[in-house]
Amino acid sequence: MKSWLTTTDHKRIGLLYFFTAFAFFLMGGIEALVIRAQLAQPNGHLVTAETYNQLFTMHGTTMVFLALMPLSASFFNYIVPLQIGARDVAFPRLNAFSYWVFLLGGLFLNASWLVGPLFHAGRLSVAPDGGWFGYANLTERQFSPGPNIDFWLLGLQILGISSLAAGFNFIVTILNLRAPGMRMMRVPVFTWMTLVTQFLVITAFPVITVGLVFLMFDRFFGTHFYVSQAGATPILWQHLFWLFGHPEVYILILPAMGIVSDVLPTFARKPLFGYTVVVYSGVLIGFMGWGVWSHHMFSVGLGPIADSVFSATTMLIAVPTGVKIFNWIATLWGGDIRGTTALHFAVGFIAMFIIGGLSGVTHASPPADLQQTDTYYVVAHIHYVLFGGTIMGLFAGIYYWWPKMTGRLLSETLGKWHFWLQFVGMNLAFFPMHLIGLLGMPRRIYTYSPELGVSDLNLVSTIGAFLIALSILVFIVNIVRTRTQGQRAGNDPWGGATLEWSIPSPPPVYNFSVIPTVANRLPRWKTEHHDARSPGHTTRADPRARRILVAHARGLRPADSRAGTAHAYAVGRLRGGGCAAAGHLSLGVRALRGLSDDARRYCASYEPGTRQSQDGVLGVHRLGVPVVHLAHLDVSGLQGEERGRTVPARDPQHPVHVGQHLRPADVEPDDGAGARRGAAWRHEVGKDLAVLYGAARAGVPGRAGDGVHGVRA
């Protein structure tokens, strides 16, 4: 327990964020269920009007600030350093500080449910009751004299400190700690969207902080920043809040877009279509998100010029979003689809986000928006974006990265049940709200008359909400079951293309024993082929072709041009190696211990007959074997927890470099194209691990384009 309380390891902090945020997510969900139960029938009496105000205020505040943002932050913490080849974030202690401040803010906000007697309020709860948007001048002391709004404004300021600390930390991490060779256009899309999100965080949260400080001074010190009788205007709060609020929407949705952009290529077994366009469209969304805030204020009366400008910008921001959608669909088109639970949620994200985006475009028209403002149509829109979009995307990330985070696979059967229950429940819950709003039901009312004609639609919506709750219960069962019964995951159960899949699951404390060198955007898919007859010739490999290492106690058979299964990949050649019979190199297990990603940096400078400055890169320099490009070779995937003799530190940033014996490991494709092998495909410690070039006479199932194959013992 003490180690968790004092940890600065980004992976542990990521898990702390996840479980804390998920607990708040459950609290926000319970609040939503009470709201829907109250509205299931006309003239409901489950809760009072005051309690209902507290419920929808805390539901919105909890989901936005305590659930969705920190759930994304859990992936920022755990995955981003792994994707960029770093051993931790730039400022580990600041990272821990960010989490504990977040926890403080969340507990402070929710303590308001229980501390009414301390304020002599005459009731148990003094939870915030002014809406998650806190419109002035309802939040002034004159109209909200109790401590309810005080909890809200102070809690949000505490959470803002946490967000700003994390934002600066991740910006520095991504810009400064990338592995050698990882240029910005080689950074995975999830990490790119994280970077854009953090820039939005550090620029948007100061805006809401200014608004909250003004409100705090009004309530505590008698100033009049939002009091119209004193010559001020409540509209100032709306400008400040929505100037933060609309970038906040993209703070919530961009991480989910990044997750989907990583999940789809893995399970379509093809690179992301238009990677550059997807990255630049995300950056463009970050910029354009600052120019649309007043479409929330079309009913205020800003005038025709302001309405026209913000109407145009609201339409324009749909363009980069639409670009991403077409890129995702094109990635799936023609792919070798594997229908995992993660892919289900990623595709569900696309479908639901399209609906949410289309309903959002209708808000770009001021006349239409005047009819929709403060009705359930807006509630439907925001839930299709944040639940159908952000939540679906986050669940895609959970099912995708859970094996990396815990070392165990979630049940696919329970995962499919979770997805379909949530997908059906979400559409039952939120699609009828479009009609409920257009039929005239205002939002934020605790009861309604049967004459309004929306009773049946509200009942359907309530049934959908409880179906969502059932789906979350299935997910919890899946999580609990996996702790003891889940299938163990290897380094790379999915065949991912990015660096996090090249290390053990869960990763060691130091992540990478040797910092990897990245030569392309898909370091575990893109390789080079070296033909046996012309060792200097290289061609690009099909990223879907399998590349595996196969052990044989007696070495591999000679190259045979009649073998039709595959071309093999050269990792070395003997001096003057033109002999086909000697067209392989058999390396002992202990010698191969020195083989690591940093060997790649020597390939360009090697000259035959010379020794490299770093002894033992391959452990075979005396044979005159040149080091060639090893970008696809998952040597770290063959390293186990067993510790061998220590070797001299190679990385000054990580002096505790430990040599590792190769363990009997699953010999698996490391570029994402093929099923994992069984026990018959394992090598044993003490036998030779053979790597060859040329075509192997393989006694294994093969297909055109497959990579290195060996023979059975």
Active-site annotation holder among 11, 324, 567, 661: 324
d(CA 464, CA 77): 33
449 and 591 share a domain? no
pLDDT for 378-391, tens place per residue? Answer: 999 999 999 999 99
| Residue 240: predicted pLDDT | 96
Q: Is 132 a catalytic residue?
A: yes
- Run of H or E residues at 314: helix 304-316
Q: What is the pLDDT of residue 526?
A: 59
Residues 567, 479 share a domain? no
Residue 403 tokens, joined: 């094996």
Look up 321 and say whether it is catalytic: yes
Q: Could you tell me if residue 217 is inside a domain?
A: yes
Residue 424 to residue 443: CA distance in whole angstroms: 23
Residues 480 and 571 in one domain: no
DSSP 386: I
Length of the chain: 713
553 shares its domain with 465: no
Q: Which of 61, 72, 163, 565 is catalytic?
A: 163
88 is catalytic: yes
Residue 73 lies in a domain: yes
Q: 289 and 202 in one domain?
A: yes
- Give me the torsion for CA of 42, 46, 49, 51, rounded to 10°: -150
Taken in order 703, 704, 705, 708, the sign of the CA dihedral is positive
Co-location of 408 and 532 in the same domain: no
Active site residue: 78, 99, 132, 401, which one? 132
Tell me the pLDDT tens digit for each residue of 43-71: 999 999 999 999 999 999 999 999 999 99
Residues 573 and 472 occupy one common structural domain = no
Active site residue: 9, 88, 140, 500, which one? 88
Does 261 qualify as catalytic in the annotation?
yes
Query: Does 295 qualify as catalytic in the annotation?
Result: yes
**Element (H or E) spanning 539, and its range?**
strand 538-540
Q: Are residues 517 and 481 in the same domain?
A: no
Residue 248 a catalytic site member: yes
Do both 568 and 443 map to the same domain? no
Please identify which of the residues 31, 150, 248, 634 carries the catalytic annotation.
248
**Number of separate domains in the chain:** 2
> In the prediction, which pLDDT does 578 show?
33
| 340 and 443 assigned to the same domain | yes
The reported pTM is 0.76
Q: Angle at Cα 129 formed by Cα 123 and Cα 132, nearest 5°?
A: 150
Residue segments in the chain with a per-residue pLDDT below the cut of 50: 527-713
Of 144, 261, 462, 482, which is the active-site residue? 261
Regarding whether 533 and 475 lie in a shared domain, the answer is no
* 504 in a structural domain: no
Based on the domain organization, do 116 and 259 belong to the same domain?
yes
Instruction: Quote the pLDDT of residue 486.
Output: 87
Residues 400, 346: Cα–Cα separation, whole Å: 10
Which stretches of 563-696 are assigned E, i.e. beta strand? 584-587, 689-692
Q: Which CATH number covers residue 419? A: 1.20.210.10
**Does residue 225 sit within a domain?**
yes
Indicate whether 497 belongs to any domain. no
Query: Does the annotation mark 250 as catalytic?
Result: yes
Cβ–Cβ under 8 Å, residues 226 and 211: no
> Which residue in 296, 529, 547, 567 is the catalytic one?
296
Please indicate whether residue 296 is annotated as part of the active site.
yes
Catalytic residue among 87, 239, 295, 418: 295
531 in catalytic set: no
Catalytic-labelled residue, pool 10, 36, 87, 246: 246
Q: What is the domain extent for residue 322?
A: 2-485
Which residues have a Cβ under 8 Å from the Cβ of 554 and sit 6 or more positions away? 713
